Amino acid sequence: MPDATNDTEKEVNGGQAVADEKVATKDNADLSTDYKEMVKELRKSHRSGANRNASDRAHNLNQLKKMLIENKEALKEAQVKDLRQNDLIQKAEIHGPLDEINYLLENFESWMRPIDAQPRALSNAPSRGKLVYEPLGVVLIISPWNYPISLVIKPLAGALSAGCVCIVKPSELSANVSKLLSELISKYLDPQVVRVVQGAVLETTTLLESCRFDHIFYTGSTNVGKIIMQHAARNLTPVCLELGGKSPCYVDAELNIEVAARRLVWSKFLNNGQTCVAPDYLLLNKKVSEPFLELFKSEITKQFGENIKASADYSRIISERHTERISALIEPYRGTDKLIFGGSVDVSDKFVEPTIILNPNPKSAVMTDEIFGPVLPVVLVDDEDQAIEFILEGEKPLALYVFSTNNELGDKFSMLTSSGAVVTNDCIGHFNESVLPFGGVGQSGIGNYNGKFSFETFSHLKTIMNKASWTDPPLRYTPRSDKATKLLDDSFEGKYNFTTPLLNLANMLMRNK
């Protein structure tokens, strides 16, 4: 996400900024005291067993599910007020998290079960080992505004399935959704398990500076991700950073051109381009550039009509400030032959027309900054090798897309580049798959979530080994007999492992104790 994705992201050098959307009602000292007490209470409840056993976790997940089902219409109304999100997004924002919760409910108890891990070393015989996922503890979830329901609920559901307790900090930019979620979470979930903190820069910065968490889950920009890591590093707190960057899309000469144009228009302009895994720019094979661009332009009109501004399917930018930021990306190309479609902006309506810029200056802001809006730079390339070289010049993206009927091309991009995900012949959809981890690499993020990957993100995989005391082989003690020394040497050389009958027998006896 861009630097202004979350109001938290107006922080400079760790938080020296004033929010222009909200005036804080308390000073830093008062907030610090409140937040420390809140974390203290949550840590106490976690240590006393809150949300630790399977039945409590299931109850809290079901309450989260109930909250979404019973309040879906109110949540949809709030989405429209904040972003004018269309009907598809409104439904996805409810049903995507519901599907994730259902998946967690079906599976989390099996993930809680100990995993047998039989020790192999002769010196450890007889013994038994197992691995268990233990909840990390008190988790801070900082969510953005672009998908203000799912990007709160999905990580929260994962944390609850893992047995954690949470503080949720939604974005104040999506004010209507955040206010409603705060009220609903307080109503449906035990405050000893989940709390919500509302506010802007001051509140978020105070949380990070004054409180120690067991995990921080953040969705937002790379720049603020670095600030989060600085705060986390003081206590060696693990983080999951769901960031963004410039996700490229290569359009090959061999492709179903109509399907590619239709899917790319949908994914690029979904939510007015305010999607972290939207294709940021196209690398378009010159051989199909003219027919593809003509189809792409006509597809924009098909999906949004001749009067795009009046389309109920075309969302709005989150704020006037963001609208001005996107307009500034377009500005250098106004009145040039590189601006081949769109370019209109109405700041007061927070409207930016779908815009295509052909072969922009690679050093201009539209090619160096994450766009996070309905502006599509198109760079013409000779072939996939030139596209790969172009991608390698930038940071590792959150996603990389390839449109081609050549089934081997996706594998080639996957092998020769690094990204959070590689998707062929589609965009965005991998985010909603509970069986696929979602996350970035390098500048696009750290860690991942979805389904079991969320459970693991909010858990510590603990080793447990229990060695028998009813026998105590003298191999590791001095003085050693010649026979014991030879047995130990043979063990170090790998002549004894768990296929050895002696070890099998010893450990079998241990398991039967």
Q: Which residues are catalytically annotated?
A: 242, 276
Range 98-101, long-range pairs (CB < 8 A, 24+ positions): 98/65, 98/68, 98/69, 99/432, 99/434, 100/153, 100/154, 100/157, 100/158, 100/434, 100/450, 100/451, 101/61, 101/64, 101/65, 101/68, 101/153, 101/157
**Token output for 219:** 């969705």
Beta bridge mates, 165 = 138
Provide CB contacts within 8 A for 5, sequence distance 6+: 144, 145, 146, 220, 221, 224, 244, 372
Q: What share of the chain is helix, strand, coil (3-state, %, to 5)?
A: 50, 15, 35
Distances (CA, A) of 60 to 38, 211, 336, 460: 19, 24, 56, 20
Q: Are 227 and 14 in contact (CB under 8 A)?
A: yes
Contacts of 338 (CB under 8 A, 6+ apart): 357, 358, 359, 360
CA distance 342 to 147: 25
* Cα gap 304→314, rounded to integer Å: 7
CA-angle at 355, arms to 354 and 360, nearest 5°:
160
Strands (E), 163-313: 165-169, 194-196, 215-219, 239-242, 248-251, 281-285
Q: The tokens of 504 are what?
A: 């099998």
Q: Which of 410, 381, 352 is nearest to 281 (CA)?
A: 381
Please enumerate in sequence order all residues whose Cβ is within 8 A of that of 240, keeping only pairs 6 or more positions apart, or say none.
Answer: 155, 215, 216, 217, 218, 439, 445, 446, 447, 448, 449, 457
3-state secondary structure of 248: strand
Q: Are strands 127-135 and 351-352 parallel, antiparallel or unpaired?
A: unpaired
Q: Is 291 helix (H, G, I), strand (E, B) or coil?
A: helix
- What residue has token string 């060695």? 467
Return the bridge partners of 115, or none. 131
Secondary structure (DSSP) of 344-387: -EETTTTEE--EEEES--TTSHHHHS---SSEEEEEEESSHHHH
Kindly compute the dihedral angle of the four CA atoms of residues 498, 502, 507, 512, in this order, to the nearest 10 degrees. 140
CA-CA distance, 446 to 435, in Å (whole number)?
18
Instruction: Report helix, strand or coil for 154.
Output: helix
